[in-house]
Amino acid sequence: MNMRRVLGLLAMSFVLLAALVLSGSTSASAYPPDPPDEATARAHLAELTVTTPGSGDDYDRDLFPHWHTVEGTCDTRETVLKRDGSGVSVGDDCYPTSGSWYSVYDSETFTDPSDVHIDHIVPLSEAWKSGANDWTTDHREEFANDITHSQLIAVSASSNMSKGDDDPAEWKPENENVWCVYSREWIDTKYVYDLTVDDAEVAALSEMLDRC
């Protein structure tokens, strides 16, 4: 088995254990797990396979099952809302009844969970064109619901829709202060899941790492 996958599965078991501890009605006001530092990110970027992206003609979002149950009545979306929010309280169905969310992409704060989207740092369509088309459905489900790595983050609906399926050569967060961490998150996700990159993507990621 790929060593990255083994380490990822081990890390996921620790995250799920932590979720049991933090499964009360109020969030811990945390953010996604920290990605590797700049030096490690640059080294990992250099190891990624650079090639022309595959076709997205046969992509279907349903090929990446989400959101699945994480614990009790909480699915992945609700788990990330609890994790990334401040003072989040939830009902018996795990849907937030109060709290606030700061969107790092555009420096906006929201108190209505319906205004908050859960962004896949590496979009599902991008993953499909970068190698996920050859994965099993179970592996794509793992990717789409990954709270072990910094692949999921609560952000404003508007910024998430603005990003769409774009890679860093096509879209960057409006808040330039997060370019460093965003590029590290993107690289880490592609590295862990052994996804490919293209030349323009590498150039954009390198530029963003220069902000670190």
Per-residue pLDDT reduced to its tens digit, 23-40: 333 333 447 899 999 999
Considering the chain, what is the average pLDDT of its residues?
A: 89
What pLDDT does residue 177 have?
97
**Please, which residues have CB within 8 angstroms of residue 87's CB and are 6 or more apart in sequence?**
26, 27, 29, 98, 99, 100
- Which strand (E) or helix (H) includes residue 81? helix 76-84
Say how many C-beta atoms besides its own lie within 10 A of residue 37's C-beta: 11
Residue pair 31/83 in contact by the 8 Å Cβ criterion: yes
Q: Exposed (0-12), middle (13-18) or buried (19+): which is 112, by Cβ within 10 Å?
A: exposed
- Mean pLDDT calculated for residue range 190-211: 98
In percent, how much of the chain has pLDDT > 70? 86
pLDDT at 143 over 80: yes
Would you say residue 19 has pLDDT above 60?
no
CA dihedral 177→4→143→34, nearest 10 degrees, is: -30
Q: What gap in Å lies between CA 208 and CA 125, rounded to an integer?
A: 22
pLDDT of residue 31: 76
Rounded-to-integer distance, Cα 189 and Cα 126, Å: 12
Distance, CA of 109 to CA of 203 (rounded, Å) = 31
Stretch (H or E) spanning 156: strand 152-156
Helices (H) and strands (E) in the chain — how many of each? 8, 7
Ranges of each domain in the chain: 3-209
pLDDT tens-digit map of 146-200: 999 999 999 999 999 999 999 999 999 999 999 999 999 999 999 999 999 999 9
**pLDDT digits over 7-18, tens only?**
444 444 333 333
Residue closest to 173 by CA, chosen among 125, 110, 107, 115: 107
Q: At what angle do helices 199-209 and 38-47 cross, to 10 degrees?
A: 170
Q: CB–CB of 156/105 below 8 Å?
A: yes
